[in-house]
Amino acid sequence: MNESAAAAARRIGSACDGRVPRVALLLGSGWSPLAAALVPRVELDYAELPGFPALAVGGHVGRVRVGTLHGAEVLLLSGRKHAYEDGDPRAMKGAVQALAAAGVTTLLQTNAAGSLDPAMPAGRLMLLSDHLNLVQASPLVGERDDRRFVDMAAAYDPALAALARQAARQAGVTLHEGVYAWVLGPQFETPAEIRMLQRLGAQAVGMSTVPETILARHAGLRVLALSMITNMGCGLAAESLSHAHTLAGAARAADDAARLMAALLPMLESAA
């Protein structure tokens, strides 16, 4: 771990009076309404934390908030810097390493994704069983020690996945399951690319999450990840894709997302 991650970890630790939650929740696009239910006891801007990314997107401030969400103590990360902004998959490296150094043990990631499966329409939620790093870029390039050769066999923790299924049953929420293909973006896929991804065995496609999962596994964190399906992959439905269109798709899933989180977060806290 580098100096800035250690410094950010100390800053988080002292802001929390030494009580850093073991569960961190990284809120991706579409999931931000969940933050409204948090009762925060600590708020820090990314700008105060060495090694955390500066976020480019208009008006968004990256923020770490610690508090109680649906009865569980969590550290909430709002704001993810994507590799499509400058081509660098290491954007979240300092943040993930700082969380691990501060005492976080479990990372719950959320994202928005397009569906490759006609049986999984917009508005549904999907548990990531695995991923395809189609960009073939790694946030660990430049690391020097042998820990960089990370075993990715169970990158998405099977025991935490079982808890997510149990939480979905309890909350009465349909939770699909599948492989997430990471593409760089920021353009959406072509219809031919969507057919390729289907043949490669992916059920969903998106522009995030995979670098952070690799970083988290490298840092020893357990990972659970959920996709909000905001649209069908290009060419699979009579819709034209845009950022606004995906946000509208996210609104349809917001209710399920909140109910799933309410059941899941206390389970994750007990397991962490």
Per-residue H/E/C for 127-170: EEEEEEECCCCCCCCCCCCHHHCCCCCCCCCHHHHHHHHHHHHH
Interaction between residue 206 and ligand HPA (CB under 6 A) = yes
Q: What gap in Å lies between CA 80 and CA 31, rounded to an integer? A: 12
Q: Which of 25, 113, 260, 263 touches ligand HPA by CB under 6 A?
A: 113
Structure tokens at 246: 């995906």
Q: Convert residues 228-257 into a mask of x (bound to ligand HPA by CB under 6 A) and - (unbound).
A: --xx-x-------x----x-----------
Residue 85: active-site member: yes
Please state the separation of Cα 149 from the chain's center in Å: 22
Q: Which is nearer to ligand HPA, 191 or 220 (CB)?
A: 191
Q: What gap in Å lies between CA 222 and CA 108, rounded to an integer? A: 8
**Antiparallel, parallel or unpaired: β 39-45 and 63-69:** antiparallel
Residue 119: active-site member: no
Interaction between residue 112 and ligand HPA (CB under 6 A) = yes
- Enumerate residues 161-190 that contact ligand HPA by CB under 6 A: 183, 188-189
Candidates 52-60, 119-127, 226-234, 251-259 — which segment interacts with ligand HPA by CB under 6 A?
226-234
Interaction between residue 203 and ligand HPA (CB under 6 A) = no
Residue nearest to ligand HPA (CB): 114
Residue 207: active-site member: yes
Q: Which of 64, 75, 76, 207 touches ligand HPA by CB under 6 A?
A: 207
Bridge partners (DSSP) of residue 110 are 226
Q: Which is nearer to ligand HPA, 5 or 234 (CB)?
A: 234
Q: How far is the CB of 62 from ligand HPA (least distance, A)?
A: 19
Of the residues 8, 15, 24, 29, which is catalytic? Answer: 29
Of the residues 47, 54, 152, 243, which is catalytic? Answer: 243
Upstream peptide bond of 186 is cis (omega within 30 degrees of 0):
yes
- Enumerate residues 76-105 that contact ligand HPA by CB under 6 A: none
Q: How far is the CB of 188 from ligand HPA (least distance, A)?
A: 5
Residue 208: active-site member: yes
Structure tokens at 100: 């691990």
Structure tokens at 68: 């109680």
Q: Which of 50, 114, 178, 211 touches ligand HPA by CB under 6 A?
A: 114
Of the residues 231, 250, 257, 269, which is catalytic? Answer: 231
- Residues in contact with ligand HPA, counted by CB under 6 A, come to a total of 14
Candidates 49-57, 87-95, 157-165, 204-212 — which segment interacts with ligand HPA by CB under 6 A?
204-212
* Residues at the interface with ligand HPA (CB under 6 A): 112-114, 183, 188-189, 205-207, 230-231, 233, 241, 246
**Residues noted as catalytic:** 29, 60, 82, 84-85, 112, 207-208, 231, 243
